[in-house]
Structure 1
Amino acid sequence: PNGNDFANGFLQIGMEYLFYANFATGEIQPWLATDYSYNDDFTEMTIHLRDDVKWNDGEPFTADDVVFTVNMVKGNAALSFGPTMAEFVEDVTAPDATTVVFTLTKPAPRFHYNFFAQVADFAPVPQHIWEGEDPLTFKNDPPVTTSVWKLSQTLPDLRMFIWERDDNYWGKDEQFPAAKYIVYRTAPPKDADYQDLVNNVIDHAHRLEWQQVELAMQNNANVVVGPFQDPCPRGLWINNAKYPLSEPQLRWALSYLVNRDKVANVIWQPPTVAATHPWSEWKLLEQYLDPDVMAKYPITYDPDKAAQILDDLGFAPGSDGVRVDDQGNRLSFNIITPAEVGVGEYQIAQDLAEEAAKVGIELTVQAVTGPVFDESTQTGNFDITSHWLCGAFIDAINLYQPYQSKNSAPIGERATAGNWIRLENEKLDAAVAKLETLAPDSEEAKAAYSEALDAWMEAMPAIPVVQTLYVMPWNTTHWTNWPTEDNMYTVPFTWWALWYPVSFQVQPAE
């Protein structure tokens, strides 16, 4: 009814995935599949499936469905995962009903990540329903999936999707939801959402400001929260191709000027913690942080150290107080942000500008529209940005890969290969080249991850500021066992595929 893929529940509870990457616990949870494996040179991957799964129309789910889906998306670049499958899959076969074999075009030791549910990811479709249909126009209405939830009704006027429990669900003997219905609705204005939460009309409010969440907890003892970190800390990205920002030590000087405790506890709402590395603090990502490497690069607030670095680089205060070198290069830069004036990312930049002025760096802050931000960053016509520091989601290599030297571009040309900050670092290039050929859980990869982390931190191409905390408010009047801080059994974000297990865990209130 509202045209929003993430507001109807289909990607979250309307389908099932082969595996779930549980960032809250650090576990990879098999679901439709049981395991995966590679041959010695990572040119072939095998996935084994459960033998008891059925589509909600009663037909069995088999390896043929997976093969059909892969070939369907592989042949259509407009479909999700189409380009990825076209790049990596030479052939895919089903030797039997529960085995899928991928012949890969090149060694790809992380190809299995494509089948881990995170936000909205690869999900097989039933061949007997989709075969012969145009995947770009086929409605699949009502959806035939393996999920325990079947679409029962849509109410366009109320902007609601009603999902009904399938009492013939294939996995009923192992786990089964207590709820019979789940209603997804497009969130109303914030004030109305707040009133519905406090008045026990809804079980979750999606759009509330932190102050409203606090007020809701004060006014209704049954309102509890599930705080969880976003995959993207907030940070400052630097144009590594523009002098003098091209100097790593200058970038470190800027890092020492960031008062992270102030940002975390005063500026950012809800209060959070400082970001001391370029990804979230999820358990699944802990393995990529080498304590010995991080000990070499303390992320601290130290204006005196920043000033000393500037002195050592040869930048002395000019007549107007702004530092300048003997070639006339002034330490005067512009920070752009896609956030509106007054929003957290804008305030982060503003606070840095105030700190920088004390040591002779002039920073201006400019809020720009999305298209302007994209054009400026992609063409390299910017100094510094203040926004989200995304990249490492399930594996740290996802942060490093785009910023290889080969993906850079001259200022003025669009960085279409991903390296929009134009970092060129031989150490990082070498570490990534190793990682791309190694199984992520191997000892060899562990050493290469440390090398990549060392190269990244030494270069400081992007400055981590704070972890981004999202707080999910739940109402326990009718249902309990929501994911909360002391019971975070899965990612609590209702718009992610990882929310599906929550539907099995909530229980009626006594």
Structure 2
Amino acid sequence: MQLRSRRRRGRIVVAGLAVALAAAGCGSSAGGAPSTADATLVVYTGQAGDYQINFNPFSPTTIDGPGTIFEPLFFFNMARTGEPVPRLGTAYSWNDDGTVLTVTLRDNATWTDGTRFTAKDVVFTLDMVKKNSTINGTGYDGTAKAVDEHTVEIAFDEPAYSQGPQVLGRIWMVPEHVWSTIADPANDVIAEPMGTGPFMLEEFKGQAFTLKANPTYWDGEPAVKRVRYVALSGNQAGADALAAGTIDWQTGPVPDIKNVERNYPGYKAISVPLMQIALFTCSNADLGCTGHQTDPAVRKAIYYGMNRTQLNALAFEDTASPISPGFALVDRDAQYLSDGLADKVAPMEPDVAKATALLEGAGFAKGGDGVYAKNGKPLAFNVLVPAGWTDYITALDTMGQQLQAIGVKLTTQQVSWNEWSAARGTGKYEMLIDSLYQGPAADPYYMYSYFFSTATTAKVGETANPGYGRVSDPVIDGALAELEKLDLADVEGRRPHFAAIQERVADLMPYIPVLTGGTTSEYNAAKFTGWPTEDDLYAFPAVWQRPDHSQIFKSLRPAGSP
């Protein structure tokens, strides 16, 4: 599964890009006006540098596939509450005690080689995920059986209501007749993906790859005939491509974000606060993490040393919003925000006295250079960030200046996305900047189960997915287990378990809260219609968010088409 922080970023000018894309028939004319009969959607995910082929939907480094090629059973909208949209499933129900989930499958879906999709494929996929912890990013532990060709029963040892949206919405169905021959499903890059989805791979090159509409798709061939993913060099390159009209959708910052329609004629922008920006730390010495960042006092000192008002203004054009140290979303999850938190919301201004008191209480002493140290090792950290993620780079550079006041040295270390992603997965880092993403339903349980559960982490050197902070805590695990048994509608029953998680998370602070990011996308409204809006937020509008992006691809129509 993953939505793994797919917030790719970058920077550089795109000199010859407009010519190259126009020659390939993939661009729109300058200013965003649509090309004649052009049904190719050109997207930029923030990929800086060549793509490395990987269409394995379960891999943390997949470049695409979930939702577009490989479908879930249902689409759950994490941005808004509401009924899930059928994909490969048509209906589902729980038994009275929440231990058996029955799913009805559609009878008109086929794999792109013409083989019929059946319940056997679902059972095979679920069994494979359960047997391979590396690809089991949802913590699935059920037992599936095919009742008939179009009905699956999934049994759990205990009530498992919270697993429902994950099993139904975040496990990507794969064909048994192909994947049963794959020796290592966790690491195979699936260079020739076969799915049931609305798109299929047409061409792969390092600088760009293209998905084409699936002509036999069960829901009809999409109106968008091609989706072309281009690799640029970052945020500035994306802004330049928007100005040239050579990309149709990107998720990332542009200068003067409030005036996109004036600065980029034909384009519109939308910003949705959902992803929680944090300094990820390899936090757990018991799992092999080393360095001063394994001390909670250090992490809390950094938390109090930030000037979030300044960070928001300088790095995020004031599009970000407050964040809770317990990581419940301040607005969406207000009913679950714990009263037991010392700070319900992270302070927007720094508290230098509190930060330095934490460090000195933990045995650190300030050296002659103004940097605290302990056992001869200074509080100096390199923080990894992909080259070209200009907003995050600005945030880190600003933090580096801010934290001098509390005697902490923070140095921004720009690396390739591949290097950053590998370090994050294996735990071979001290700190990096990233975002915690939400789950399939508009509920905080899923984010906690992804990033704070023992089930999703691993020892340093092994791949975590996506428990990158190496959190393993019995209080959190116990509360997650209790939440799993409760119906999502049982607000009162769930509240004390969420409080236990939030208070423990704030105490451990393995991910140091920065701000809730206002995820902003710029899209070509002159070339395509059907984009999500604030009034009709039918999917989370981020080009890197899977499977939401596929739901948007399915909904778009070339401007002027029926």
Alignment of 1:384-463 (within 5 A): 385-390=431-436, 393-394=439-440, 395-396=444-445, 398-399=447-448, 403=452, 427-428=475-476, 430-435=478-483, 437-442=485-490, 443-463=492-512
In the TM superposition, residue 402 of structure 1 has moved relative to its aligned partner by 6.3
Distance 1:83 1:77, change over 3 A: farther
Distance 1:387 1:74, change over 3 A: closer
Q: Which residue is 1:19 aligned to?
A: 74
Q: Name the CA distance, whole Å, in 1 between partners of 2:189 and 2:360.
A: 64
Q: Name the CA distance, whole Å, in 2 between partners of 1:436 and 1:409.
A: 22
In the TM superposition, residue 352 of structure 1 has moved relative to its aligned partner by 3.8
- Give the alignment partner of residue 102 of structure 1, picking from 154, 158, 173: 154
Name the TM-score, length of structure 2 as normaliser.
Answer: 0.66
Q: Which residue is 1:234 aligned to?
A: 278
In the TM superposition, residue 260 of structure 1 has moved relative to its aligned partner by 0.7
Q: Assess if the C-alpha contact under 8 Å between 1:226 and 1:473 holds in 2.
A: yes
Name the TM-score, length of structure 1 as normaliser.
Answer: 0.72
Distance 1:245 1:209, change over 3 A: closer
Alignment of 1:26-425 (within 5 A): 26-27=81-82, 29-31=84-86, 32-39=88-95, 43-50=99-106, 53=109, 61-71=117-127, 73=128, 77=132, 80-81=135-136, 88-90=141-143, 92-104=144-156, 108-117=160-169, 121-125=171-175, 130=178, 143=194, 145=196, 147-149=197-199, 154=203, 159=208, 161=210, 163-164=212-213, 166=215, 170-171=218-219, 179=223, 181-187=225-231, 197-200=242-245, 202-204=247-249, 206=250, 210-211=254-255, 217-229=261-273, 231-235=275-279, 237=281, 239=283, 251-268=299-316, 271-277=319-325, 279=327, 281=329, 286=333, 289-290=336-337, 292-294=339-341, 296-300=343-347, 301-303=349-351, 306=354, 309-310=357-358, 313=361, 320=368, 322=370, 332-339=378-385, 343-345=390-392, 347-359=394-406, 361-365=407-411, 367=413, 382=430, 385-390=431-436, 393-394=439-440, 395-396=444-445, 398-399=447-448, 403=452
In the TM superposition, residue 259 of structure 1 has moved relative to its aligned partner by 0.6
What one-letter code is carried by the residue in structure 1 that aligns with 2:541? P
Percent of residue pairs bearing the same amino acid type: 19
In the TM superposition, residue 100 of structure 1 has moved relative to its aligned partner by 0.4
**Which string of whole-angstrom CA distances, capped at 9 and with x for unpartnered residues, describes residues 311-351 of structure 1?**
994989868485989xx879941222112689554554444
Q: Name the CA distance, whole Å, in 2 between partners of 1:257 and 1:494.
A: 33
RMSD value over aligned CA atoms? Answer: 5.2
In the TM superposition, residue 84 of structure 1 has moved relative to its aligned partner by 6.3
What one-letter code is carried by the residue in structure 2 that aligns with 1:99? T
What one-letter code is carried by the residue in structure 1 that aligns with 2:279? G
What one-letter code is carried by the residue in structure 1 that aligns with 2:268? V
Distance 1:131 1:405, change over 3 A: closer
What one-letter code is carried by the residue in structure 2 that aligns with 1:451? A
The worse-fitting range, judged by mean Cα deviation, of 95-104 and 181-190 is 181-190
What one-letter code is carried by the residue in structure 2 that aligns with 1:506? L
Q: Assess if the C-alpha contact under 8 Å between 1:8 and 1:161 holds in 2.
A: no
What one-letter code is carried by the residue in structure 2 that aligns with 1:234? A
In the TM superposition, residue 420 of structure 1 has moved relative to its aligned partner by 7.3
In the TM superposition, residue 262 of structure 1 has moved relative to its aligned partner by 0.8
Q: Name the CA distance, whole Å, in 1 between partners of 2:206 and 2:355.
A: 60
The structure whose RCO (Cα within 8 Å, separation 6+) is larger is 2
What one-letter code is carried by the residue in structure 1 that aligns with 2:497? A
**Which string of whole-angstrom CA distances, capped at 9 and with x for unpartnered residues, describes residues 215-260 of structure 1?**
9744442111233456442335374769987775664443222111
In the TM superposition, residue 195 of structure 1 has moved relative to its aligned partner by 6.0
In the TM superposition, residue 490 of structure 1 has moved relative to its aligned partner by 1.0
Pair member with larger Rg: 1
Q: Name the CA distance, whole Å, in 2 between partners of 1:63 and 1:309.
A: 59
Q: Assess if the C-alpha contact under 8 Å between 2:297 and 2:359 holds in 1.
A: no
Q: Specify every segment of 5 or more residues in structure 1 that has no aligned partner in the other structure, as ranges.
A: none
What one-letter code is carried by the residue in structure 2 that aligns with 1:488? L
The worse-fitting range, judged by mean Cα deviation, of 364-373 and 259-268 is 364-373
Q: Which residue is 2:526 aligned to?
A: 477
Distance 1:455 1:317, change over 3 A: closer
In the TM superposition, residue 214 of structure 1 has moved relative to its aligned partner by 7.9
In the TM superposition, residue 18 of structure 1 has moved relative to its aligned partner by 0.7
What one-letter code is carried by the residue in structure 1 that aligns with 2:230? T
Distance 1:163 1:260, change over 3 A: same
Q: Name the CA distance, whole Å, in 1 between partners of 2:425 and 2:70.
A: 36
SS of corresponding position for 2:493: helix
Number of residue equivalences: 486
Q: Name the CA distance, whole Å, in 2 between partners of 1:138 and 1:243.
A: 33
Distance 1:288 1:432, change over 3 A: farther
SS of corresponding position for 1:482: coil
SS of corresponding position for 1:226: strand
Q: Name the CA distance, whole Å, in 2 between partners of 1:243 and 1:61.
A: 50
The worse-fitting range, judged by mean Cα deviation, of 448-457 and 192-201 is 192-201
In the TM superposition, residue 448 of structure 1 has moved relative to its aligned partner by 0.9
Distance 1:150 1:221, change over 3 A: same
In the TM superposition, residue 116 of structure 1 has moved relative to its aligned partner by 3.9
Q: Name the CA distance, whole Å, in 2 between partners of 1:377 and 1:139.
A: 19
What one-letter code is carried by the residue in structure 1 that aligns with 2:551? P
